[in-house]
Amino acid sequence: MDEKHANKLVRSIMGKRGVDLSMADVRVSHGVCYIRGTITFIKGRTPDSKETAMGQVLRALRQQPDIRDVICEYTLR
């Protein structure tokens, strides 16, 4: 899978879990996913614990065969 499709896959996975990436930069390069910026949750889909929810999202990303590693530099709001 090329990087364009991997980017779409990452955004799709995060969108399904209610993560708003409008203020974040998400890129996949050589199988490594980089997440930088501010991450919020979509209104109405805010989990009880945002840290736990992001842990689940990152675990789901790491389980994808095209993603070798996930590097995060984000702030939760």
Q: What is the pLDDT of residues 1-31, one digit of tens each?
A: 789 999 999 999 999 999 999 999 999 999 9
DSSP structure string for 7-54: HHHHHHHHHHTTEE-TTEEEEEETTEEEEEEEEEE-TT---S-HHHHH
The count of domains in the chain is 1
Report the CATH number that the domain containing residue 67 is assigned in CATH. 3.30.70.1350
- The reported pTM is 0.86
In the numeric block, which tokens belong to residue 3?
Answer: 């990087």
Query: Phi/psi zone of residue 73: left (φ > 0), alpha (ψ -120 to 50 degrees), beta?
Result: beta
Residue type, 21: L
The range of the structural domain enclosing residue 37 comes to 3-76
